[in-house]
Amino acid sequence: MRYGTTASACAALIRRDLVLTWRRRGDALNPAMFAMIVVVMFPLALGPEPNQLARIAAGILLVAILLAGMLALDNLFRSDHEDGTLEQLVLSPHPLSLLLASRIIVHWLTTALPLIVVAPLLAEMLHLPRSVLPVLLVALALATPLLSLLGAVCVALTVGMRRSGMLLALLVLPLYVPVLIFAAGACNAAQAGLPFLAPLLWLGAALALALVLAPMACAAALRISIT
């Protein structure tokens, strides 16, 4: 009798999610397209004045990427819930938090990583000073997994509801505010020539904490919402 180990279960889940993303690779580009359109709207509304755009570029980018990530969140557990796979995962004898952590990691890889990849292009469109770009990318690398983890807890709470899109946004956005403040704080400090390390370290600390706690909260929330 060969029972599945927790490692094999996580590996199977990661492999499945990567294959599923590849089968629907067109959809995987949607968040990046969304962020790009939002960024394009600002010069249209504010005028193409480079100095003015450069001053607000980091903030616009962060908000656009945060919103794009939030729109992609809804699908984190929804399809698994609708086809019954989530029920099977909850019933598996493995720690649910580890399975969910694997799911969240793949979700980050397939939705947030494309956003980080297009970020330099978006930054160029908004005349962000090139010296700030590395700080922005580090801030994004720390902030986006944090957003995915925080978001996953909220998605787990709302997965049992139909049409939970707006409710999810209302739950998630307040939690995103501190992340936005620290990420934008680092970029603005770098742009002003001030030390920018502290906000990045805060993001890193929050990420370490969320990596441990969010999957557990997510598992508890999911058990509540599927009953």
Query: What span, in angstroms and rounded, lies between the C-alpha atoms of 116 and 112?
Result: 6
First to last CA, the chain: 31
Query: What span, in angstroms and rounded, lies between the C-alpha atoms of 114 and 166?
Result: 24
* Least distance from other proteins to the Cβ atom of residue 78, Å: 13
Note the residues at the interface with other proteins (CB under 8 A): 1-4, 8-9, 11-13, 15-16, 19-20, 23-24, 79, 82-85, 87-94, 99, 223, 226-227
The smaller minimum CB distance to other proteins, of residues 16 and 127, is found at: 16
Where do we find the tokens 């929804």? 78
Compute the Cα dihedral for 144, 149, 151, 152 and give only its sign.
Answer: positive
Evaluate whether 54 touches 140 at the Cβ level (below 8 Å).
no
* Least distance from other proteins to the Cβ atom of residue 186, Å: 39
* Least distance from other proteins to the Cβ atom of residue 20, Å: 6
- Please name which of 118, 38, 106 lies closest in space to residue 71, comparing C-alpha atoms: 38
The smaller minimum CB distance to other proteins, of residues 206 and 217, is found at: 217
The smaller minimum CB distance to other proteins, of residues 81 and 133, is found at: 81
The smaller minimum CB distance to other proteins, of residues 47 and 84, is found at: 84
* Least distance from other proteins to the Cβ atom of residue 5, Å: 8
